[in-house]
Structure formats: C-alpha cells, structure tokens
Amino acid sequence: MNKAIKTADANVGATLSKALFAPESIALIGASGDANKHTSLPQRYLRKHGYTGKIFPVNPSHPEIFGEVSYPSADLIPQRVDHAFIMLPAKLVPEAVSQCAANGVRCATILSAGFAETGDAGWLLQEDILKRAQRTGMRLLGPNCLGVINTNRGVAISANEALETPKLQKGHISLLSQSGSLLGSLLSRGQSRGLGFAKMVSVGNEADLGVGELGEILVDDPDTHAILLFLETIRDPQRFSAMARRAYAAGKPVIAFLLGRSPIGNQLAASHTGAIAGSNAAIEAFLRENGVIRVDMLETLIEMAPLVIGRKPCARGRVTVMGTTGGGGALLVDNLGLRNIAVAGPTPAIIEQLATQDIRISDSPLIDLTLAGTNPRVFGAVMDALMASPDNDAVITVVGSSSQFRPDRAVLPIIERARGAAKPVAVFLTPHADESSRLLSDASIAVFRTPEACADAMRAYFSWQAPVSEAVPALAASKALTAISQGTGTATDAATLLDELGIAQARTVEVAIDAHDQDLDARLAGLQFPVAVKIISPDIAHKTEAGGVLLDVADINALRTGLRQMRDTVKQRRPGARLEGFAIQEMRRGLAEVLVGYRVDPRVGPTITVGVGGVLAEIYRDVVVALAPVSVDGARAMIEQVRGLAPLRGYRNLPQGDLAALATAVSAWSRLAQLPDSRITEAELNPLIVGKQDQGVVAVDALIVRS
C-alpha cells in the first residue's frame, strides 16, 4: 500500500518536475512587445539561453510579439501548455489562473506581487487563486516569485536582469530562494567566478509549491548534488523536515542562509513574508536537527557546497592552514579562532617527515611556506603530508598573488591533490582571481573570495549534524496532565505539573493573610530558613511593585515582622486588591540558577530552551534552543553548549553541578510537547536551582501560559 503511494507520488513528482524545469511549452501571460518593459524580458531570455520548446505570448492587444504568435488568453492557446508565467497586476491574476487551468496548464508561476505578503486582503486573493488552480490540479509557484531557471535546458522563466549574462554556466548546485531578487544576485555572483547552478527557483509566497516539495524534486534530480536555501521563514515544517531528511539520506547536503538573525531583522523577515515572528533560534534548531547546514554569510552559501558534497558530518573539527602568504594565512587562522574552530598546526610526525625531504616547517598554528614554497615540489609535499595526516579533518590552502595572473601554476598542485579526495579542502585566494576560482570550481573544489566566508564555511561544516532521530519515551498520560495542558478542571497549577513530570520543587507553604503567630508556627514546622515570601492575590500581576515580595528572610521572627509589613504595604499600594494569603518558600542555594523554557514557536512548533537563570541569559543571549521533546542525552548536549554554565562543568576547578539531574529535568519539561491537545504555548522554569553532583535540582518558580 505504502509502496504504491510512493510510486504514485514519484510519478506526480516527475510530471511536476518536467512542467517546472523542462516544459515543452511555456505561456507568457502579460508578455509585452515593448523591449523597455520588464514583461518583455522572459521571452527574450528564454530564446537567448537556448530554450527550444514552444513559447506562447499571451496579450490581448497584440497578435504577435517578437515574432511569435500571441493569444488573447491562455484558454485560447490551441494546445495544452506545460508551464505558464503570469506577469499581470494582482487583480487580473485570478482570471488568468482560471484561463490557465482551463487550458490544462500543468504549472503556473506567478510573478505578480500583492498577495499574502501585503496583508489580509492579499491573503484572500491568494486563497482565491489557489482554489481556482486546485479545480484542475494545476500547480502554482508563487505568487510574488521571480521565476525558475534550469541551466541544462535553457529554461530561464524570469524577468531578472541577471539573465542578461551572455551564457548560463551549468553546475551541480541548485537554489531555492524565498527572496526573488537574491536569486539573481547569487546567479550573478556565481557566474562571475565560474560557479554554475543546475536549477534555481524563487519560491515567492509558497501558496502551493513550497520549499519542502520543491526540495524533494531536487533530491530526485540527478543534476543537483547540493541544495542551497535562502530563507526568510519556514512555512511548512513537516514537509521541509521530510525533504531535508531525504536529502541527507541521499547524500545531497542542504545548505541554508537564514535572514532574521537580529531582532530587527527577524521582525522585518516576518513582516516581509506575512508570517508571525518566531524565534530565530527556533528556526536554527529546526534546521540543525533536520541535518541542514547553516551559513552565516551570504557568499558562503554559494561557495561552500563543494566542501560538503558527498560527505557526512565530521565527528571532530580540526583544520590545518597552509599557504605561501603569511598575511593571508594569518587572516584565516584568526578568523577560525574567532569562530572557536580548532586550528591544528603540523604534528611532530609531519615536521619530521617533511624534514627527511629537506623541507623545514616550524611548529606554528600556520604552515607558512613563504615565497620559497611557491615551488611545486615543496608545496606538493607539504599538502600531501597534510592530506594523509590523521591529525586534521580539513585543510585550507591560501594562495597569494600568483593565483591572479598565473592561475594554472598556482592552483594545479592543489587540484591534483584535492579533487575527489576523502579529506575536504578549502582554498582562499588572497587577490581578486576569477580565473583561478573558475579552475577550482570546475574541479569541484571549494574556493573562497574572503577569509571570513572561508572560516564561516569551516564553522558551518563542523557544526553540521546528522538529523536527530533519537526516540524520546512517550509521556505517561494522566488526568492531571491533560487537565493542565488544556486549562480545564482545577488542576491547573504549576506545582501539580512539576509533580507529574517528576521535577523537585522548593518546599512552599501557603498561609492565610491574617494568620496568627501560632498558626504560622504550626504551618511552618520543618521549613528551612532562609525563605522567600510572595503575596497571593488574583488582582496583582506585578508583585514586586506592589511590595508583595520579600527575599532572604532569615528566621521566624523576621518572617513575622515581614508578613505584617507586607500586608500593610500591599493594602496601601493596592487598596482594592483581594489578598488571599502568603506563599512562603524555602530559598535554596545551589551552584547555579538555570532557566528552562518550553515554547511553541509559531513557525517550527514546540521548542525547549536552556540558559543561565536571571537577567544574564538575556543580556548575553546565552541560551541553547532545541526542538521539543528532547531526550536526556539531547538535553545533556544542550547544557554543554551554554557558555555561562561552564562553572557547573568544573570550569577552573569549581565544584561540578548535578548535570545528570538537570538534563533529566530539561528532558521532562520538554515532554510538554507530547501532551495531546495542549493549549500550553509557553512554560518556564526560572530559576531551576542546580545543586552539587548527586544533590539534584529544585524548581523555584514556574510560569505557564496557555493560548
């Protein structure tokens, strides 16, 4: 049964792929005969880049456009068309979509903007065209999309002026871009240095075809060896995840550049895509856990593919830098250091081995062969030794001025050794050297224009992880859990939730607002001082401002005085508020305070965050985010990555914390994601006090937000 569906899917995929990337006929809806208009460009670009299929301009005002017969509307074209490109104002698009559907068009790409990205009215218009297309099973790309390019078929369905380039360079990397104009920019940057693409798609608003489905077509495309993504958001995480995992399994690395890493950039990306702003860290976690490689710099996106094609993530991450230019090599070493990548200098074994060949290199983070090393014998012997060494995981070669005017001489020794090698090699060219770039690209060797992008690529490579697939045990359902997650019944408080999840809590006692001293003594029997006191009132949201919080109360006498004063102060500051009592809680001191946050991201779903408690996590942005639920091992790995928790890991001989208990608590809290029909959108433990090894963790405060 499953198999049959798969086959059907594959057939659907193949038909769609053909209509999208290798159509036998293309209708250009709204094509102009005025060469000054953008809408005239696709026809010219198609012919210019060698498209051999049929082109049907559609324009009711002209019987012929640039020598090809024009039709008043798509439904009047006398044959079924594979692919239509709609370039009309938004309000004319619905009718055009219906006409395309009537023709039997297999796939329509919509350049027009003015849909979901503009707000509610645009969203409705987008829903309308989607429905019109679905009536006949016609697929839509866009709207608000700049088109499709397939260099292997001369298919350049786009008005992007990057297509003015005399010749489209072929290649083995393909791009899906949520920004239309960036598609042209990346094409242009690639072309300039001999770096070609196989297929490029501007996905626009993804009303129908999205990154997930298009990526799957690329996974099945023999011309595509790596998939590049320029992302502003994630619209369909399930399909995206399935695609990324299939690509990983197929050995086709997926490399993503993600906009919106800064708060203002994130806000802009959200408004630009008509999406709700989520957390950038959540998307990064989503990409990482689905086996996607994420780059930080724009040019890394097009430059790094050869470094990872045919490879899997690397267990260790030590890179050796060699070159004939000391300054250029130092630029790389410094940039690697800034990204916390281990730079491996030559081992004594390598130094000795080279010495037997009369080559002297010193024990330094950089193997600087100086001008003398431009000698192919020396350069080759050193590179051979590094490629054979088990003590590094990648090699960066830095080539100086010779790469500009003597490209052959400069890069041939590298190509001989790096082409098809098991160990990844990156090349940084210090001058502007397009011809050397071209030679290296042609040999499928990663070549970088800037030291920053080269170091970024190494960081991205060493951060690459296999898709996460550990099973997290199912959460045993309980009435209390269900009630809490849905906000029904009476069991809605955080304490019950913590109990159910097996997370210890600081002991808390509630006393009445008018409790007498003797009541107090009885209620507090066995409670350990110091304690903290909070007022209990349904009417007071900000307890501190109301005078309703007291910390570090040392003993019972201080507590008695404190309660009286608090009652008086709060009554004075919030005269109308109903005061129900005091919560008195043991103040636990551990080695560190940790924040554990569960949050349903509007784009990628449930996530779990671990960071240092208090305001520092926020100030230093030092939190680690993963998709929820996370296993205990996964939680442990997260904890390792929080810089500010270094003291708990024994930094500078400080006493170690109970990291096992912390990981168990993080995993437990993350399993809120498993609750059926949960309305919990946010649940935060802040702080969770971590004791010494074997002394466990204790939650002091928990906050739950339901939708």
- Binding to its own copies (CB under 8 A) within 379-438 occurs at 400-402, 404-406, 430-433
Question: Any idea which residue has 């595509």 for tokens?
Answer: 224
Residues 278-307 that bind its own copies (CB under 8 A): 297-299
88 binds its own copies (CB under 8 A): no
Distance CA 430, CA 401 (A): 7
State in angstroms the smallest separation of the CB of 391 from its own copies: 16
549 binds its own copies (CB under 8 A): no
- Kindly give the interhelix angle for 280-289 and 237-249, rounded to the nearest 10 degrees: 40
654 binds its own copies (CB under 8 A): yes
Q: Which is nearer to its own copies, 453 or 497 (CB)?
A: 453
* 99's tokens: 């006409």
State in angstroms the smallest separation of the CB of 75 from its own copies: 28
| Secondary element (H or E) of residue 400 | none
Contact 376, 413 (CB under 8 A): yes
Judged by CB under 8 A, which of 27, 168, 269, 680 binds its own copies? 269
State in angstroms the smallest separation of the CB of 602 from its own copies: 19
Distance CA 581, CA 560 (A): 14
State in angstroms the smallest separation of the CB of 264 from its own copies: 4
272 binds its own copies (CB under 8 A): yes
Q: Which is nearer to its own copies, 193 or 671 (CB)?
A: 193
Judged by CB under 8 A, which of 15, 136, 450, 695 binds its own copies? 450
State in angstroms the smallest separation of the CB of 404 from its own copies: 5
Q: How many residues bind its own copies (CB under 8 A)?
A: 85
182 binds its own copies (CB under 8 A): yes
| Secondary element (H or E) of residue 3 | helix 2-21
State in angstroms the smallest separation of the CB of 622 from its own copies: 7
Distance CA 277, CA 510 (A): 39
Amino acid identity at 593: E
Which residues on adjacent β-strands are paired with residue 545?
A: none
Contact 100, 27 (CB under 8 A): yes
Q: Which is nearer to its own copies, 187 or 256 (CB)?
A: 187
Judged by CB under 8 A, which of 73, 109, 179, 607 binds its own copies? 179
Judged by CB under 8 A, which of 15, 136, 188, 693 binds its own copies? 188
Contact 535, 548 (CB under 8 A): yes
With contacts defined by CB under 8 A, name the span among 218-226, 324-332, 625-633, 692-700 that binds its own copies. Answer: 324-332
652 Cβ neighbours under 8 A, 6+ residues apart: none
| Secondary element (H or E) of residue 679 | none
652 binds its own copies (CB under 8 A): yes
Q: Which is nearer to its own copies, 519 or 640 (CB)?
A: 640
Among residues 145, 147, 188, the alpha carbon closest in space to that of 168 is found at 188
The phi-psi region of residue 82 (left if phi > 0; otherwise alpha if psi is between -120 and 50; otherwise beta) is: alpha
Distance CA 332, CA 398 (A): 8
Residues 1-40 that bind its own copies (CB under 8 A): 38
541 binds its own copies (CB under 8 A): no
230 binds its own copies (CB under 8 A): yes
- Kindly give the interhelix angle for 2-21 and 211-219, rounded to the nearest 10 degrees: 90
422 Cβ neighbours under 8 A, 6+ residues apart: none
With contacts defined by CB under 8 A, name the span among 182-190, 352-360, 559-567, 687-695 that binds its own copies. Answer: 182-190
503 binds its own copies (CB under 8 A): no
Contact 616, 644 (CB under 8 A): yes
Strands 592-601 and 605-612: antiparallel
Q: Which is nearer to its own copies, 367 or 668 (CB)?
A: 367
Q: Which is nearer to its own copies, 160 or 678 (CB)?
A: 160
551 binds its own copies (CB under 8 A): no
State in angstroms the smallest separation of the CB of 32 from its own copies: 14
With contacts defined by CB under 8 A, name the span among 9-17, 26-34, 59-67, 335-343 that binds its own copies. Answer: 335-343
With contacts defined by CB under 8 A, name the span among 239-247, 360-368, 489-497, 684-692 that binds its own copies. Answer: 360-368
157 binds its own copies (CB under 8 A): no
Q: 3-class DSSP state for residue 323?
A: strand
Q: 3-class DSSP state for residue 401?
A: coil
Using omega within 30 degrees of 0 as the cis cutoff, is the peptide bond preceding 23 cis?
A: no
Question: Any idea which residue has 């809408």 for tokens?
Answer: 39
530 binds its own copies (CB under 8 A): no
192 binds its own copies (CB under 8 A): yes
| Secondary element (H or E) of residue 174 | strand 170-177
Site string for its own copies, 48-77 (x = CB under 8 A): ------------------------------
Residues 588-607 that bind its own copies (CB under 8 A): none
